[in-house]
């Protein structure tokens, strides 16, 4: 288990997740990069800027 850096949700990490992989937080949709496995750690991955031009 690890906590989302953006919204604090607890995220399950399946065993075959590797460092460097991206996981999406189910609550806030933030893309998180796995930076450690023991203990599990994540950081916000660079978000591509979305501009609907509205």
Partner 1 sequence: MLRVNVLGGSGYTGGEVLRILATHPMVEVGIVTSSSNAGKPLHQLHPNLRGVLDLTFSPRERLDHAEVLMVCVPHGRAMEMMPQLLQNADKVIDLSADHRLRDPADYPTWYGITHPHPENLQRFVYGVPELHREQLRSATAASGPGCMATAANLAMLPLFKAGLVEERHIIVDVKIGSSAAGVEVNISTHHPERANVVRAYAPTGHRHTAEVEQELAPYNGGRKPRIDLSAHAVDMVRGILATCHLRPRGEVTDKDLWKAYRDAYGAEPFVRVVNQKAGLHQLPNPKVLLGSNFGDVGFQLDPRGERIVAFGAIDNLVKGAAGSAVASMNLMCGLPERTGLEFPGLHPV
Q: Which residues bind partner 1 (CB under 8 A)?
A: 6-9, 22-24, 26-31, 47, 50, 52
Provide, rounded to whole angstroms, the least separation between the CB of residue 17 and partner 1.
11
Q: Output 15 or 50, the one with its CB closest to partner 1.
A: 50
- According to DSSP, the residues that pair with 2 across neighbouring strands are 11
Maximum alpha-carbon separation in the chain: 44
Provide, rounded to whole angstroms, the least separation between the CB of residue 37 and partner 1.
18
Provide, rounded to whole angstroms, the least separation between the CB of residue 25 and partner 1.
8
What is the C-alpha separation between 43 and 34, in angstroms, rounded? Answer: 7
With beta carbons less than 8 A apart as the criterion, state whether 37 and 20 touch. no
């Amino acid at each position: 288990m690890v906590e989302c850096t953006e919204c604090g949700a607890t995220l399950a990490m399946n065993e075959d997740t590797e460092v460097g992989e991206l996981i999406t937080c189910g609550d806030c949709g933030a893309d998180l990069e796995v930076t450690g496995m023991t203990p599990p750690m994540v950081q916000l991955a660079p978000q591509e800027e979305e501009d609907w031009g509205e």
